Amino acid sequence: MRTQTRQGLRSSTRQRGGGRRRAVTAAAAVAVGVMALGALAPPAASAASGSAASAASGSAASAARPDAVQQALDALVRDDGMPAALASVRDRNGRTRTYTAGVGDLTTGAKVPGDGQVRIGSNTKAFTAVVVLQLVGEGKIGLDATVDTYLPGLVRGEGIDGRRITVRQLLQHTSGLPDYGIHLDDDEIRNRYFEPRELLDIALRYEADAAPGEKWGYSNTNYVLAGLIVQKVTGRPLAEEMDRRIIERVGLRHTYFPAPGETTVREPHPQGYHRNPVDGPLRDFTELDPSAGWAAGQLISTNSDLNSFFTALLAGRLLPAAQLAEMRTTVPAGTSGLRYGLGLTSRPLSCGGVYWGHGGDIVGYETRGGVTDDGRAANVAVTTIPTDEAAAQHVKDAVDRALCG
């Protein structure tokens, strides 16, 4: 859930002592280890497809010409210092090909598990938005109703009034609410459990960033409130609603909302690494309490499950047409061509058109990807949050290669 920066969407928190990793820009994207960058040469790099036949043909093709996605992942490890990079690419015919580069564990040298689980950070916001919009379709939430309609008196602060902020503004990041995430320290929160109301209380100590509806400004606080509204309306935990309404419906077998106090990753996964300060050594940050993310960034998933989720969403399998149209109605989010809908982003492709997704960072992992209207899907994960603009762009470039190749 990191505060958004570098024209991409991220998820996590502020670093104290070492300062912010990157300056916050208008449309941001939201970071761990025991070895220095010099040890990060990729000893293992592989691509695997969804069937034996396609694997054989893919291997033959790779022998004839290098695979653009594999080359991009190798470069992320070799040139940008990512401990590992993973990708899953689905073509418009539904054939999936997965890729890995680097090492899954810098201490043991273990291989990167194919399509391993990672923390997906702010991609969680798309799931939260879908639940809210399903409830809109059921007549239980109004997009243009105020926050006070569901959480009376809860949202008050300097320049902040829940009677003036709508549900739509929460989902689109136009509420003007300050972001609690920039006031949290990665090391401090690693072993701390937060109740959602605690996260909101942190945000409300600060004045509003803007008047409601005045401008776009990424804030994890918006999605904590959206999650609280879901729980108030349904009378059930947000995680249960996500599971019932999305994860089970789409068949996302490797996606889950960690339980309170759950700090590990359940299935095969690459370790996640973090630098603080940015020129310090990588530290293993795989195990952490993700409750500081909650509705804004707590989910764990795989690249392939994310492809399945966004494909199902864009195909109309999760939302009625009216609510999907609202979700895809976007506003500019910075100057890179990124646009933000209701928990869904669109980004231009070098080959024309756009792809729809979200992206996310949480300490130890960054994920980027999405789907096109004609059914192509790609998602890329790396096992530390890039600490410079060039590396961050290279992750997005890998997605572009996968969708345009």
The DSSP secondary structure of 218-248, one letter per residue, reads: --HHHHHHHHHHHHHHHSS-HHHHHIIIIIH
Given 49, 122, 308, 346, the catalytic residue: 122
Domain count of the fold of the chain: 1
Phi and psi at residue 359, to the nearest 5°:
95, 160
Kindly tell me if the per-residue pLDDT of 143 is higher than 60.
Answer: yes
Q: Does residue 200 belong to any structural domain of this protein?
A: yes
pLDDT at 7 (0 to 100): 36
Instruction: Please confirm, yes or no, whether 122 is among the known catalytic residues.
Output: yes
Phi and psi at residue 101, to the nearest 5°:
-150, 155
Kindly tell me if the per-residue pLDDT of 308 is higher than 50.
Answer: yes
What is the mean predicted confidence (pLDDT) over 80-106? Answer: 97
Q: Does residue 16 belong to any structural domain of this protein?
A: no
Confidence band for 336, pLDDT divided at 50, 70 and 90: confident
Q: Does residue 373 belong to any structural domain of this protein?
A: yes
CA–CA dist 321, 318 (Å, integer): 9
SS3 157: strand
Phi and psi at residue 65, to the nearest 5°:
-150, 140
Kindly tell me if the per-residue pLDDT of 14 is higher than 70.
Answer: no
Q: Does residue 400 belong to any structural domain of this protein?
A: yes
What is the mean predicted confidence (pLDDT) over 297-306? Answer: 98
Confidence band for 66, pLDDT divided at 50, 70 and 90: low
Q: What is the mean pLDDT of the chain?
A: 88
pLDDT at 46 (0 to 100): 57
CA–CA dist 184, 186 (Å, integer): 6
Q: Does residue 199 belong to any structural domain of this protein?
A: yes
Domain with residue 223: its CATH number is 3.40.710.10
Q: Does residue 287 belong to any structural domain of this protein?
A: yes
pLDDT at 327 (0 to 100): 98
Burial (Cβ within 10 Å: 0-12, 13-18, ≥19) of residue 205? exposed
Q: Does residue 18 belong to any structural domain of this protein?
A: no
Residue at 15: amino acid letter: Q
- Domain with 185 in it: 37-404
Tracing tokens 């918006």 back to the chain, one arrives at 222
Q: Does residue 6 belong to any structural domain of this protein?
A: no
CA–CA dist 218, 12 (Å, integer): 12
